[in-house]
Chains A and B, each alone.
Chain A
Amino acid sequence: AQTVTQSQPEMSVQEAETVTLSCTYDTSESDYYLFWYKQPPSRQMILVIRQEAYKQQNATENRFSVNFQKAAKSFSLKISDSQLGDAAMYFCAYRSRSTGANSKLTFGKGITLSVRP
């Protein structure tokens, strides 16, 4: 079974600074997806960024980028130029690329990010 580990329960960053959120996972599969979801106080789950395991290039979405290390099974999220609106809980998630009964997301426990003005 796949597992996702987020070992830091909380982090804090100064506005306009850069912060990196860590995530590791365990799987025996070679083809899969990895995601970072953001959950603000509104409780809505918002997709921040995704990475396909077969792609060597790290995904980037504006101020958000990932450092995907497939051999190390590491998937960290870097937030540049942090903004007050980035304060939220962030979840790392894994999904097998296979379809059918295996097509489900496995989440880490999440990390609460606070942004200091």
Chain B
Amino acid sequence: DAGITQSPRHKVTETGTPVTLRCHQTENHRYMYWYRQDPGHGLRLIHYSYGVKDTDKGEVSDGYSVSRSKTEDFLLTLESATSSQTSVYFCAIKNRADTEAFFGQGTRLTVV
């Protein structure tokens, strides 16, 4: 257990509403990532963080924003959810010395 928790685990929301997903870690890892998983696309990087208040865009960042005001929390916000954002979202963490990243359990988000 790498001490990473995603919340909520499941969420159904309506088109046009704001949604925030939370990734919480207890390991003081420097790097945190948000991925989305869709059939036929594997996992695609949305945003990542390499330190408090240091974030950058991934390959599918449109429609998403992130914030990291403290080491342990990395928030992913959908400002106005769309049906194309229905997906499974994974958070991952890694430290500088780590070779691999550790993943949370995933959040299944459905936008109706």
Contact = CB atoms under 8 A, between A and B. Distances in A.
Does A associate with B in a complex? yes
Interface of A: 6, 9, 33, 35, 43-45, 47, 50, 52, 91, 95, 99-101, 103-110
Contacts of A107: 35, 42-44
Interface string B8-39: 00000000000000000000000101010000
Query: Which residue among A91, A95, A99, A105 has the maximum number of chain B CB atoms within 10 Å of its CB?
Result: A105
Given A43-B106, A45-B90, A100-B50, A105 B101 contact: yes
Given A50-B99, A50-B100, A106-B45, A43 B105 contact: yes
Nearest to A97: B99
Contacts of B99: 33, 50, 52
Contact of B94 (A43, A44, A103): A103
Given A43-B106, A99-B96, A101-B56, A91 B31 contact: no
A15 B71 CA distance: 45
B50 A105 contact: no
B103 A91 contact: no
A5 B12 CA distance: 32
A52 B100 CA distance: 11
24 contacts: A6-B42, A9-B40, A33-B99, A35-B100, A43-B106, A44-B103, A44-B105, A45-B90, A45-B103, A50-B100, A91-B43, A101-B56, A104-B33, A104-B45, A104-B48, A104-B58, A105-B33, A105-B92, A105-B101, A106-B45, A107-B42, A109-B41, A109-B42, A110-B42
